[in-house]
Amino acid sequence: MCRILAVTGKDWQMDTVLEDFGRLAEYGHVPESTAPGHKDGWGVVAHNKGGVSFYARSTEDAFSDPRFREVADFVGKTSPDVLISHFRKASIGSVNIPNTHPFLNGKISFCHNGSIRSEISLSENSEALLQGETDSERFFFMILEKMQAGASLKDALKNCVKLARENFDFTAINLLISDGGFVWALREINEKSEIVQKENLLDYYSLFLGKNKSSFVICSEQLSVGGDWQLMQNHELVEIDVANSVVESEVI
């Protein structure tokens, strides 16, 4: 369980957006059966000119951690092309740095909201590269394996979602993934899940797309920063072409 954020473009001040997002670590929506807050760690990845320009993770609560505010100030000054951030509410795996999102492999960053309770089988090579014990990191490597087999990042993502629907027990696979040139956001809730039905988690696993001129924000909750906001549909995949400020959407 967590809150996730992606920001592209220059029409928002990224430090303002990130600080606004920081409120969700303390006051963000949580399931009724859980304690308030998403306080089990935070992470930030900045992409610039097709590469990764900044990466930081912490096991602290972003709302009270001075370092998170320092990072917000830094990204505001450097104004990267893409910003990805995550606040964790641990459900699978210990509270430690290896289990803290976003995960990074080369120039590809990834974060996830939801719980995948089925075992995700990976190759020996992928198993050796895993740093933590989360279902999220394993799903990320599942996508990477499809890419290594020749699929584009987008097609690898869609393929893994299809496999998850057919084979996995999961609550949600809400995710953000970026290679610096594109950002993909998926809202994927398993409406058949007993946990989702019992705990009424459809509202919790929300994902919003916000637009301000040629800049975009995707966030688990609508932020107070200006712009036009729209709730993504379940099973909706949004693709943002960062350089051309183009958004495409499809239900997969």
pLDDT in tens, the chain (252 residues): 899 999 999 898 999 999 999 999 999 999 988 999 999 999 999 999 989 999 999 999 999 999 999 999 999 999 999 999 999 998 888 999 999 999 999 999 999 999 999 999 999 999 999 999 999 999 999 999 999 999 999 999 999 999 999 999 999 999 999 999 999 999 999 999 999 999 999 999 999 999 999 999 999 999 998 789 999 999 999 999 999 999 999 999
Containing 210, the helix (H) or strand (E) segment is: strand 208-212
Mode of pairing for the β-strands spanning 174-178 and 108-113: antiparallel
Residue 182's CB: how many other CB atoms inside 10 A? 19
Coil, strand or helix: which one is 233? coil
How many domains is the chain built from?
A: 1
The pTM of the whole model exceeds 0.85: yes
Q: Whole-angstrom distance between the N-terminal and C-terminal Cα of the chain?
A: 23
CATH of the domain at 59: 3.60.20.10
Coil, strand or helix: which one is 188? coil
pLDDT at residue 92, rounded to an integer: 82
DSSP 116-167: B-S-----HHHHHH--S--HHHHHHHHHHHHHHTT--HHHHHHHHHHHHHHH
Question: Which pair of structure tokens corresponds to residue 137?
Answer: 């990191």
Q: Which domain holds residue 128?
A: 2-251
Vertex 157, ends 154 and 158: CA angle to 5°? 90
- The answer to whether the beta carbons of residues 99 and 11 sit under 8 Å apart is no
Coil, strand or helix: which one is 94? coil
Alpha helices in the chain (DSSP H): 14-22, 24-27, 66-78, 124-129, 135-148, 153-167, 194-198
